[in-house]
Chain A
Amino acid sequence: MSSLILILITGVGLGALYFLIASGLSLIYGLMHVLNFAHGAFLTAGAYAAWVVTPQLSGLGGWAFPVAVLVGMVTGALIGALVELLLIRPLYRRHIEQVLVTVGLGLMAVALFTGIWGPDPHPFPRPAWTTRTTTIGGAAIPNDRFLLIGAAGLLLIGLVLLLRHTRIGLIIRAGVENRTMVQALGIDVRRTFTLVFAIGGAAAALGGVLGSVYLGSVSPGQGTALLIYAFIVVVIGGFGSIGGTAIAALVVALVQQLANYYLYSGIGDVSVVLLLAAVLLIKPAGLTGRTA
């Protein structure tokens, strides 16, 4: 029983990580129809930024970690905004070229990180309390899972508030449904694009930092490795839908964990990847999308 509780809670923790990464991806594709292959780069950049800045913050004691997280998120937001402004916006409506550019950026980013910090993982400084465990129902749960769940919960609340109670959120929701009509109401949707990329970058960076806490290390390829699972979550949950992304993140992570543990190690990973194919084959509508 205790192992089931462990699997379930760590599964939710993994789902939280997936949600952090997938939420930005979902908004970006939903609103802009850009499949952002550079999203992994935002993630890794945030992780490295936090890693680099942590030694400088040793004087802050317990505050060092939250500040490092903040630095990571700001880095992610800035990079996301710059990428959109400089690279994506000039290719407005040329979706294939936009995808290609994000692919190129993703490749360049991994190479750059490898060049600067080397290909091997570096240990990631984590606050002592995250290495300890809390016992629930006989299962010893590592505390970093709770950190992930808490962060994802806050992000979810923040995004829902943004989408439901601000004008920008209204424009995003309408734009996800019908971008052209939003333009035909006199609203320049393109200005929201930069914001969406910034939000996506910040959320991914948060996922990157907390993911590094979860993995215990930071490495150049961690973004690409996690990106496929983020894609799976977004496809299953529906582009542009935050609620759908959250539920899908939980489902994917739990299926993965349960299958890996109870069936055969690794089969969970393969199953969710095949789940991606299955969902697309049955219901491709969300991806083939409307013409922008």
Chain B
Amino acid sequence: MTDILRLTGVQVRIAGSHILQGIDFAVPEGGVTAVLGRNGVGKTTTLRAILALVPSTGMIEFDGARIDGMPTHRIVRSGVGYVPEDREIFASLTVEENLKLAEVPGVRPDYDAVHELFPELHQRRKQRAGTLSGGQQQMVALARVLLGPARLLLVDEPTKGLAPKLVTEVGDVLARVAERTTVLLVEQSLPLVRRIADMAIVIDNGRVVHTSDARSLLADESLVNSLLGVAGTDIAPKAHRAPVIGAD
């Protein structure tokens, strides 16, 4: 199996903080690779470094070609999609316009897939995106990257602040998407990871400290505990994770 993404010795310094101190990992093509770790260890920064949204040193290879040093828009054009933490959809634009913006000139956008996965978005297409609920905004953020021929999707905490029902739905969507695209998923929700992830990479203190297939990692409670600091062995949806935005 080939690796679609490979990071070697990637370091990121922001305002004097050495956030990434040497990230090495490879993402196999196909399926979902989860990036796990405590808060603040550098998971989001890793995704942003891949997209050149933060300056980094080290080597980043996508599909065999080096993308470190390329500007963000060219990295994205070469087939990397981004679903950022906090969604970052354009609130002043309509749903339709948000999607239209994501169209790649010269490539037929795959609206069939999008309408199939997110029928509600088609109904709300004239609605201003800023008035959507959190879950609906997440759908827009996901739909955006599915219009084009992206071969790798970087997805950052898509279930953050969502009600349990929506967490499941997002998980379903990601699982279906992963059938035709590789997904690199930063997630805090371990049950979701357990359900859909094939591989797991754990980051701590700006370095990769563990790589294995997801199921065997999550089955080992003490390992999970030491790496992620998860209290208790229950990996069912946590009661204290109150959804910020309720079910819609």
Q: Do chains A and B touch in the complex (CB under 8 A)?
A: yes
List A residues at the B interface (Cβ < 8 Å): 167, 170-171, 173-174, 177-178, 180-189
CB contact between A186 and one of B73, B93, B100 (< 8 Å): that residue: B73
- Which stretch of B83-91, B114-122, B214-222 is in the interface? B83-91
A183 touches B72 (CB 8 A): yes
**What are the nearest 7 A-B pairs in CB distance?**
A186-B76, A183-B72, A188-B73, A186-B77, A181-B88, A184-B82, A174-B90
Q: A170-B93, A174-B90, A177-B92 are in contact. Are A187 and B73 (CB under 8 A)?
A: yes
User: Shortest beta-carbon distance, B161 to chain A, in Å?
Assistant: 18
B101 touches A185 (CB 8 A): yes
User: Shortest beta-carbon distance, B135 to chain A, in Å?
Assistant: 19
Chain B contacts for A180, CB-based, 8 A: 53, 72
A177 touches B76 (CB 8 A): no
B88 to chain A: closest residue by CB:
A181
A177 touches B90 (CB 8 A): yes
CB contact between A184 and one of B84, B91, B100, B104 (< 8 Å): that residue: B84
Cβ-based interface call for B97 (8 A)? yes
CB contact between A178 and one of B73, B76, B90, B144 (< 8 Å): that residue: B90
In whole angstroms, what is the CA distance A6 to B92 when docked?
A: 38
Chain B contacts for A188, CB-based, 8 A: 71, 73-74
- Give the interface size bracket for B toward A: 20 to 34
A184 to chain B: closest residue by CB:
B82
User: Shortest beta-carbon distance, B140 to chain A, in Å?
Assistant: 12
Chain A contacts for B71, CB-based, 8 A: 183, 188
Cβ-based interface call for B132 (8 A)? no
Chain B contacts for A185, CB-based, 8 A: 73, 76, 82, 101-102, 144
> Beyond the given A174-B97, A177-B90, A185-B76, could you list 17 further A-B residue pairs with CB under 8 A, ordered by the A residue number?
A170-B93, A170-B101, A171-B101, A173-B90, A173-B92, A174-B93, A177-B93, A178-B90, A183-B53, A183-B76, A184-B51, A184-B76, A184-B84, A185-B102, A186-B73, A187-B73, A188-B73
CB contact between B91 and one of A170, A177, A183 (< 8 Å): that residue: A177
Chain B contacts for A182, CB-based, 8 A: 101
Chain A contacts for B72, CB-based, 8 A: 180, 183-184
In whole angstroms, what is the CA distance A66 to B72 when docked?
A: 44
B53 touches A174 (CB 8 A): no
In whole angstroms, what is the CA distance A188 to B72 when docked?
A: 8
In whole angstroms, what is the CA distance A122 to B130 when docked?
A: 51
Chain B contacts for A177, CB-based, 8 A: 90-93
User: Shortest beta-carbon distance, B72 to chain A, in Å?
Assistant: 4
Chain A contacts for B82, CB-based, 8 A: 184-185
In whole angstroms, what is the CA distance A183 to B76 when docked?
A: 8
B93 touches A173 (CB 8 A): yes
- List residues of B (124-182) whose CB comes within 8 Å of A's CBs: 144, 148
Chain A contacts for B90, CB-based, 8 A: 173-174, 177-178, 181
User: Shortest beta-carbon distance, A222 to chain B, in Å?
Assistant: 35
Q: A174-B90, A178-B88 are in contact. Are A184 and B101 (CB under 8 A)?
A: no
Chain A contacts for B88, CB-based, 8 A: 178, 181
Chain B contacts for A174, CB-based, 8 A: 90, 93, 97, 101
B51 touches A187 (CB 8 A): no
In whole angstroms, what is the CA distance A181 to B82 when docked?
A: 9
In whole angstroms, what is the CA distance A189 to B101 when docked?
A: 12
In whole angstroms, what is the CA distance A227 to B219 when docked?
A: 67
Chain A contacts for B144, CB-based, 8 A: 185
A164 to chain B: closest residue by CB:
B97
User: Shortest beta-carbon distance, A167 to chain B, in Å?
Assistant: 8
Chain B contacts for A171, CB-based, 8 A: 101
Chain A contacts for B74, CB-based, 8 A: 188
In whole angstroms, what is the CA distance A173 to B94 when docked?
A: 11
B101 touches A187 (CB 8 A): yes
Residues 164-202 of chain B, each 1 if its beta carbon lies under 8 Å from chain A, else 0: 000000000000000000000000000000000000000
A188 to chain B: closest residue by CB:
B73
In whole angstroms, what is the CA distance A241 to B50 when docked?
A: 33
B51 to chain A: closest residue by CB:
A184
In whole angstroms, what is the CA distance A177 to B129 when docked?
A: 13
